Amino acid sequence: MALSLTLFEEAPLSLTFGGTLSPIQVAYQTYGTLNENKSNAVLLCHALTGDAEPYLPPPNKGWWQDFIGPGLAFDTDQYFFICSNVLGGCKGTTGPSSINPQTGKPYGSQFPVITVQDIVNVQKALLDKLNIPHLHAVVGGSFGGMQATQWGISYPHFVDNIINLCSSLTLSAEAIGFNHVMRQAIINDPCFNQGDYYEGIAPDNGLKIARMLGMLTYRTDIQLAKAFGRETKQHGQMWGDHFQVESYLTYQGEKFLDRFDANSYLRLLRALDLYDPAQGFENESSALTRIKANYTLVAVTSDQLFKQIDVHKSRQRLIDAGIKVNYHEFNSTFGHDSFLVDYDFFEPMIKQALKK
């Protein structure tokens, strides 16, 4: 079970787009042992709908279960790993479903717009509370990769290594378009009630549809064709789950309802859209030149969310800012989700990057 700390009790967190939050509860988990001089701490940043527990004791399974342990990619014999649930989430850290101390009711529609910069500032406050003075590395995949990059900008002397898996510096127009459609599915659900649905019926149909669309951006056509092809269900519904691939998407959408909140999904999708390293600086170059850490960037050629061409452009923008980028790319039938499951591909790259 995740640990928990309360932050920003005395002074509120000032948010990028205005407003404040106080207090902020943060769920986190640690793995391994912090060494005597506190030089082996590594922050793990989760993807959009992850949580603070990338590893869980069997028979349970965390989202990076097979990557964490003695001798593995994230070697608990060498490093001390910290992972926290992001601000705006719904897995133990303050988010829209949390109680607003001003009203005694869930924040709902009153929860402010948040950014990756806000999320990183909360992570820094957590590390300060844990008396961790420096990070050997920050590692993140997808949305977590954006957080890792922002760490190098916001706190350039605090981190030695940045490991960005399957993420570009900014989200493409196409990806923003997908996120827009997902949000519209949620806010047009009759039960959404402007986000104040906690005392009534949740907008489950909208959230389920949003997740189904999202799954199509995480997978590849090759993977779906191999798994389902054009196979139909024995007792399918002509306007419902007629094909096996439709049944799979419906299952994924319904399963998502058990672990996520629609308002959190809206806020985190928008934080993904809004991420801009130049926020708060004169231009992107002045922001990126602040990065002092060794920077490792890994792309998957079959990624349909953070496409190869967008990661290539991000690499060049980093190089133009004077950053030496250790770049790797490979193909995987798992597409964007490969950083969660393709251990054999990612293990040597992660170990190499952590040795810097």
Same domain for 145 and 228, yes or no, is no
Model confidence band, residue 178 (pLDDT cutoffs 50, 70, 90): very high
- 103 and 146 inside one domain: yes
Asked if residue 291 and residue 165 are part of one domain, the reply reads: yes
Which residues belong to the annotated binding site for substrate?
Answer: 211, 337
> Do 205 and 309 sit in the same domain of this protein?
no
What's the Cα-to-Cα distance from 291 to each of 25, 47, 66, 68, rounded to whole Å?
A: 29, 22, 30, 27
Assess whether 179 and 166 both reside in one domain: no
CATH number at residue 116: 3.40.50.1820
- 306 exposed, middle or buried (CB, 10 Å; 0-12, 13-18, 19+)? buried
Q: State pLDDT tens for residues 315-330.
A: 999 999 999 999 999 9
Residues 6+ apart with CB under 8 A from 60: none
Determine if the pTM surpasses 0.95: yes
Active site residues: 142, 303, 336
Domain end among 240, 270, 300: 270
Q: Give the residue from 270, 286, 306 where a domain finishes.
A: 270
Domain co-membership, 239 together with 262: yes
Same domain, 14 and 98: yes
* 266 and 288 fall within a common domain: no
pLDDT at residue 338, rounded to an integer: 96
Q: Transcribe 282-304 into DSSP letters.
A: SSHHHHHTT--SEEEEEEETT-S
Number of other residues whose CB lies within 10 A of the CB of residue 270: 18
| CA distance to 97, 184, 191, per residue, from 108 (Å) | 6, 17, 13
State percent of the chain over pLDDT 70.
Answer: 100
* Structural domain boundaries enclosing 201: 175-270
The annotated binding site is made up of: 211, 337
Domain check: are 237 and 331 in the same one?
no
Q: Are strands 105-106 and 99-100 parallel, antiparallel or unpaired?
A: antiparallel
Task: State pLDDT tens for residues 208-230.
Answer: 999 999 999 999 999 999 999 99
Considering the domain architecture, whether residues 320 and 231 belong to the same structural domain is answered as: no
pLDDT tens for each residue of 9-41: 999 999 999 999 999 999 999 999 999 999 999
Number of domains within the chain:
2
**Residue finishing a domain among 206, 241, 270:** 270
- Does residue 209 sit in the same domain as residue 313? no
* Pairing of β 161-165 and β 68-69: unpaired
| pLDDT single digits (tens) 104-153 | 999 999 999 999 999 999 999 999 999 999 999 999 999 999 999 999 99
